[in-house]
Structure 1
Amino acid sequence: MAVDILLPSMSAGMEDAVIARWLVTVGERVAKGQPLAEVETDKATMELEAEAEGIVGALSVAEGRRADVGQCIAVLLAEGESAPQAGAPAPVSAPAPVSAPAALAVQDPVVSGASPVAPAAPSDAVGQGRARISPVARRMAAAAGIALDGIAGSGPRGRIVKLDIARRLAGGPARSEPLAAPEPAAPAAPASGRSAVPPGIGPYTAQPVTNLRRVIARRLAEAKQSVPHFYLSADCELDALVALRAQVNEGRDKAQRISVNDFIVKACARALRQVPEANVIWHGDEILHLADVDISVAVATGGGLLTPILRGADRMSLGTLSAEMKALAERARAGKLRPDEYQGGGFSVSNLGMYGVKTFSAIINPPQSCILAVGAAERRPVGRGESIVLAEVMSITLSVDHRSVDGALGARLLAAIREGIEAPMSLLL
């Protein structure tokens, strides 16, 4: 019996993913647990394994194309079995409209009651009185109050995907019949349709938005619109830290040297243990006080910003923290982070000092309450008693969610971070 391989949810909140590369071909025999494909989620590329043995009968989604969670992306066949023909009619006694209670989660009286709707061709698009539809498309239809009858899907085997719902919302032409053969899932499109290119911009090259960039755009837009940010800044003198770092790194291989950023992350972990009231996340009607100090550290990759997590950072020695951070950053740039290595965290650190940025304000990563933006160190004049001397000074800015952390509490946390940076010996204890 043919077995449909459905795209599983491989991380929390995942709705779709890109089939980056198929690791098998049609006609190839596969064993249970054998990798079938490399799947690009919003944060990493992971292998999808076969849950049963069989022969690959079809690959329904082409490499580089997007598929919804729950969508059939491949078919496994038993020995001697032939692949089912996509779009082939299912045996029915007589063509009749689909039963509304069985087929529809939401019924639109205007659409369905205006005139009788001709039933869709009896194919895999409708089976046993229920439309084949992706979870994302079903939610879109329910939110808009769109009836599913009369919509012929453009996905594999006539499956209704979100592009079909977007076409209906935009008033575009609906497909009159399902596809005769399986085609790759169409790329996501906004419900309002693609916006027009601004006039007068001259020649340009269009670059498709990656899965990671799309998620970054959505999350940060939501954060900036919904989270009441406020910002606290301070200058930190680094002479003691720079001197201690030189001593700690003496005799170490270059790959094992402790960075200034390692000291900063450790100072944040220590500060959160000293000011536990700030180690919280906003959760609607509740504020969750976190028992562990888990710090997300921003890592720039070719596809966008990732934030792997140092779990229990306050309990790590500086050397252990540095080694763990290097390993996480390497896996992040290679797209090999596991979900548990980037999901969660209670505080973030973003450092742009290596690019010469003097100061900036970072956007909070919900549901976290704080993120520290770290600028470049530079020689500046500072007052020492009655004298003015030059010292290594670095500006830091704490972005705070005012719903869960008040101004005075945020100021206490920033002061504790600054104290750890300016008295780095305390970080070694």
Structure 2
Amino acid sequence: MMRRTSMWMLSRSRSHISLSARIPKQNVLGGLALGRRWFASLDDIPSIELSLPALSPTMETGTINQWKKKVGDLVEAGDVVADIQTDKATVDFECQDEGYVAAFLIGEGEEYPVGTPVAILVENKEDIEKAQEIAKTLKADATATSASDSPTSAPAAASESAGVSGQGGGSALPSAAILMERHRIDPTSVKASGPKGNILKGDVLKALESGNFKILPESKSLDATPTQPQAQAQAVKPEVKSAAVPASSGSGSDTKGRGYTDIPLTNMRKVIASRLTESKQNVPHAMTTITCSLNNILALRKGIKDQGNKPPSLNDFVIKAAALALTSVPEANCTWDDKKQSSVLQSNVDISVAVATPDGLITPIIKSADHKRLGQISTTMKDLAVRAKDKKLLPEEFMGGSFTISNLGMFGISQFVAVITPPQACILAVGGGEDKMVDPNVLDLDSMPNPADLSKATVMSVTLSSDERCVDQAIGSRLLQSFRGYMENPMSML
């Protein structure tokens, strides 16, 4: 039975060891890992520790969006324990073992690295309380480790703090001190959240946004003797023009905010930024552009609509034309193997289509698109797009693909260049249709036409970005010529 994630098969063997000597065991299947630890107290408590699995090849961290079980609930094989937000989508956390939920080791909405222990199951319900004591020990150990690894707890970080005292009695970091001096903020009115009561830059920004701070008198300085890092920062501080902060006659609670909001990157956007930066740095991009006439497609869609049927969208025609073009030029249907430094020809034409979501772009896949009819492509694409925006795609529905299409025509973009997503070798950037005067008797719309033969036509520009190591511009040009042939003869795609 196909499930939303690969199954984690756990053995039912018994092993009792002391808590201080517990050893994690890893069982990896289909890229997903589940750590199993057997704990034993004086009464021997068999329990299972669930770890945050890697649900995609690029996933390094994950977030528990929602726990589907409560402490004390019975978990049976195949039950969904939680929803996990990966770098691509929200995926069900299915467990293939049985037991009672004894404790959750991390909370909802918190981001943790892959492999982090997330929950403990026990086989016997009466052992829940004892297992919770073990969970408290694990949480305490994790907190201690996190504190010792924190950069702010290191001596170097402590030495960089400025000599400004805040509400908590601590100091202000240089960036916070500079910001408070710029706006003449009284440090004692800023609520500190840093270690040992230190004022962080974020504390000052929150105070500015809420207006809950006091203004220092003109004659009073934050610190008569700033630290060396602070003095250096003040020396090179550029002049910033900004609206003056109105002086407050009281506590400063009526001061308005600064008018901006810090938006943290989602896991998806972090991965997108990392992979596209790597692609631009390491992949030799070759760009090729061609123009296609859309007159015949628009006429065909109008005819289908006049018959009372819903026609395929222009994007459906683009997907089908690209798939058929890849069968005509199979050298372009390939990926790049970085380890072997070689091109890998793909036997299946799996088209990845970029879909915009609130968290970033995701590319659901139309598998074997060359064998699908236009109606099937249309239905499949609508379903994938809806589930992509709802974060309900299965991992196998967005991982892989041999060719990517990114269409910005619906936003009024006439032409753009897209960045290749490794290990794929090609991505097709599709612009919107534009009305131009062309010669209908000349197939090559890029050639110089006879002015007397010009007529109005709707044309579309597409740009192919290809990995020069395996799809050079000659192969890319042949692919685009084949693509244009299908787009201008849509009956060949029916």
Among 321, 325, 328, the residue aligned to 2:377: 321
> Which residue is 1:270 aligned to?
324
RMSD of Structure 2 on Structure 1 (CA): 2.8
> Using the alignment, how far apart are the partners of 2:80 and 2:360 within structure 1?
26
> Using the alignment, how far apart are the partners of 2:241 and 2:426 within structure 1?
41
> AA paired with 2:337?
H
> Using the alignment, how far apart are the partners of 2:351 and 2:322 within structure 1?
8
> AA paired with 2:476?
G
Q: CA deviation at 1:30?
A: 2.9
> Which residue is 2:282 aligned to?
226
> AA paired with 1:275?
V
> Using the alignment, how far apart are the partners of 2:360 and 2:265 within structure 1?
11
Deviations 1:334-386 (A, max 9, x none): 11111111111111111111111111111111111111111111211113454
Give identity over the alignment, percent: 42
Aligned ranges 1:108-187 → 2 under 5 Å: 125=141, 153-154=142-143, 164=149, 171-172=156-157
**Residue pair 2:408, 2:431 contacting (<8 A) in 1 also:** yes
> Which residue is 1:79 aligned to?
125
**Residue pair 1:266, 1:427 contacting (<8 A) in 2 also:** yes
Aligned ranges 1:281-292 → 2 under 5 Å: 281-284=335-338, 285-292=341-348
CA distance change for structure 1 residues 272 and 194 in 2, over 3 Å: closer, same or farther? farther
**Residue pair 1:67, 1:73 contacting (<8 A) in 2 also:** no
Q: Identify which range, 294-303 or 30-39, moves more after superposition.
A: 30-39
Secondary structure, counterpart of 1:8 in structure 2: coil
> Using the alignment, how far apart are the partners of 1:402 and 1:361 within structure 2?
15
> Which residue is 1:36 aligned to?
81
> Using the alignment, how far apart are the partners of 1:245 and 1:221 within structure 2?
39
The alignment of Structure 1 onto Structure 2 pairs a total of residues equal to: 343
> AA paired with 1:356?
G
> Using the alignment, how far apart are the partners of 1:85 and 1:283 within structure 2?
46
Which TM-score applies when normalising by structure 2?
0.64
CA distance change for structure 1 residues 324 and 73 in 2, over 3 Å: closer, same or farther? same
Secondary structure, counterpart of 2:264 in structure 1: coil
> Using the alignment, how far apart are the partners of 2:308 and 2:426 within structure 1?
33
> Using the alignment, how far apart are the partners of 1:227 and 1:166 within structure 2?
35
CA distance change for structure 1 residues 318 and 343 in 2, over 3 Å: closer, same or farther? same
Q: CA deviation at 1:52?
A: 2.7
> Using the alignment, how far apart are the partners of 1:227 and 1:169 within structure 2?
39
Secondary structure, counterpart of 1:232 in structure 2: strand
Note if 1:4 corresponds to 2:49: yes
> Using the alignment, how far apart are the partners of 2:157 and 2:479 within structure 1?
54
> Using the alignment, how far apart are the partners of 1:88 and 1:324 within structure 2?
49
**Residue pair 1:349, 1:372 contacting (<8 A) in 2 also:** yes
> Using the alignment, how far apart are the partners of 2:96 and 2:146 within structure 1?
25
> Using the alignment, how far apart are the partners of 2:348 and 2:74 within structure 1?
46
> Which residue is 2:165 aligned to?
none
Q: Whose Rg is larger?
A: 2
> Which residue is 2:315 aligned to?
261
CA distance change for structure 1 residues 168 and 383 in 2, over 3 Å: closer, same or farther? farther
Aligned ranges 1:335-374 → 2 under 5 Å: 335-374=391-430
Runs of 5+ unmatched residues, structure 1: 90-122, 126-152, 174-192
> Which residue is 1:381 aligned to?
437
Q: CA deviation at 1:286?
A: 1.4
Among 327, 333, 351, the residue aligned to 1:279: 333
Note if 1:330 corresponds to 2:375: no
> Using the alignment, how far apart are the partners of 1:46 and 1:390 within structure 2?
49
Secondary structure, counterpart of 1:332 in structure 2: helix
**Residue pair 1:249, 1:258 contacting (<8 A) in 2 also:** no
**Residue pair 2:439, 2:454 contacting (<8 A) in 1 also:** yes
> AA paired with 2:266?
T
> Using the alignment, how far apart are the partners of 2:407 and 2:469 within structure 1?
25
> Using the alignment, how far apart are the partners of 1:343 and 1:212 within structure 2?
14
Compare relative contact order (CA 8 Å, sep 6+) and give the higher one, 1 or 2: 1
> AA paired with 1:164?
D
> AA paired with 2:454?
I
Secondary structure, counterpart of 1:209 in structure 2: coil
Note if 1:15 corresponds to 2:63: no
Runs of 5+ unmatched residues, structure 2: 1-45, 159-199, 206-237, 243-257, 441-449
Note if 1:397 corresponds to 2:463: yes
> AA paired with 1:265?
I
> Using the alignment, how far apart are the partners of 2:389 and 2:477 within structure 1?
34
Q: CA deviation at 1:160?
A: 5.9
**Residue pair 1:372, 1:397 contacting (<8 A) in 2 also:** yes
Deviations 1:390-415 (A, max 9, x none): 11111111111111111111111111
> Using the alignment, how far apart are the partners of 2:416 and 2:89 within structure 1?
27
Among 399, 413, 416, the residue aligned to 2:482: 416
> Which residue is 1:60 aligned to?
105
**Residue pair 2:64, 2:107 contacting (<8 A) in 1 also:** yes
Q: CA deviation at 1:159?
A: 5.6
> AA paired with 1:388?
L
Q: CA deviation at 1:320?
A: 1.2
> Using the alignment, how far apart are the partners of 2:464 and 2:314 within structure 1?
18
> Which residue is 2:296 aligned to?
240
> Which residue is 2:96 aligned to?
51
Secondary structure, counterpart of 1:322 in structure 2: helix
**Residue pair 2:120, 2:135 contacting (<8 A) in 1 also:** no
> Using the alignment, how far apart are the partners of 2:56 and 2:436 within structure 1?
46
> Using the alignment, how far apart are the partners of 1:79 and 1:399 within structure 2?
58
